[in-house]
Amino acid sequence: MRGGAGVKQPAIPALAVALVLALPAFAQQPKSDLRPTQAPAAGNAAKPSTPSGAFNAKPADLPGFTEANDPFAAYQRGFYATAFQLALKRVEANKTDSAAMTLLGQLYREGAGAPRDPKEAARWFRIAADLGDANAAFAYGVALLKGDGAPLDRAAAQKEFLRAAEKGHAEALYNLGVMAIEDSPGAPDFKKATDYFLRGAAAGSADSAYSLGVLYHNGRGVDHNDVEASNWFKQAAEAENVPGMVEYAIMLFNGEGVVKDEAAAARWFLKAAQRNNPVAQNRAARLLAAGRGVQTNLVEAMKWHLLARNAGIQDEWLDGRLTELTASQRATVEEAVKKFSGG
């Protein structure tokens, strides 16, 4: 059972969410490493437009680079103006360098190294996508999905995600899974979504792994199987997916699909709480207050309780425990809350 909340031995309630609402939002960021696996072939493609002003400066010296003219290394290190200049030079030298074009689109979209220009970003993404770049197809699909620099067109976005998915793009596969649930005529197509999520998880999408956990736990598109659900939530959690951390912790605490382990559950709740997840903060507070899976620490418990309460999660039992604090302890808690919140 996933519900209930006793006073002395509080259980960890389930996340009360519908299936579709349990899935994360669409993936909207391409892989941070835009480096191509192979050098693009020479040829002819659209001519780039050169920006004016400060962006015509020569690239800065970047000590420690293994490659003298590497825009991707510059981008990874935060030298965005240099990355822009080097990517532009690569495109001018090779009109089919789709990876450099994708990087230009990324820089225009972020307003990093060049003025933010969603239309110019989408233009570069489209050109690179037509040259076969999976990251560009994904990014152009996102632009179409959001109407950011491109016409708002969900069907066209899906086609771009399909182009990227054909090359194994993890986030595109995840988005197609969400679309199979949200956009299918009539009832959601959970079986198709499961297929996309399986492929996405295999390609490294933590959102896909989490979504598979949701589907297996709810028995949608697949037979209900808490062992499979817990395995997928664990995979998502280990890939730093915060909702996955919370769901895996719940399953560990309740012994659903996995051997009951309150100490491991507490560790995952605390990790997700540090990532500012209100549900995890509430559960961590309960465990710390009750000494379940972790040493009792009422001051730390009340810090997490107040943070969760500030985010809208009410808990009468923890409110009662809050009254047990001394004035000095209450001041310590309030200072900790302020520090965590950046105040």
* Predicted pLDDT at 25: 61
Please give the average per-residue pLDDT across 302-329, as a whole number. Answer: 97
CB 60 within 8 A of CB 89: no
Tell the CATH topology of 173-241. 1.25.40
CB 252 within 8 A of CB 266: no
CB 278 within 8 A of CB 242: no
> Six-digit token pair at 331?
């001041």
Q: 246 by DSSP, 3-state: which?
A: helix
- Please check the confidence at residue 120 and state whether its pLDDT lies above 50: yes
Residue 176 CA to residue 181 CA, distance in Å, equals 9
Residue 163 CA to residue 258 CA, distance in Å, equals 38
Residue 187's CB: how many other CB atoms inside 10 A?
A: 7
Q: In this structure, what are the phi and psi dihedrals at residue 183, rounded to the nearest 5 degrees?
A: -110, -5
Within 131-189, where are the H helices?
134-146, 154-165, 170-182
Q: pLDDT band for 134, please (50, 70, 90 cuts).
A: very high
The residue type at 197: F
Q: Which residues have C-beta within 8 Å of that of residue 109, sequence separation ≥ 6? A: 116, 118, 121, 139, 143, 148, 149
- Residues 45-80 have pLDDT tens digits of 333 333 322 222 333 444 444 445 799 999 999 999
CATH number belonging to domain 34-167 = 1.25.40.10
CATH 1.25.40.10-classified regions of the chain: 34-167, 173-241
Within 29-96, where are the H helices?
71-76, 80-93
Among 313, 236, 318, residue whose Cα is nearest residue 272: 236
Distances in Å between the alpha carbon of 205 and those of 31, 172, 290? 11, 9, 36
pTM of the model: 0.81
CB 253 within 8 A of CB 293: yes
- Residues 273-313 have pLDDT tens digits of 999 999 999 999 999 999 999 999 999 999 999 999 999 99
Residue 50's CB: how many other CB atoms inside 10 A?
A: 9
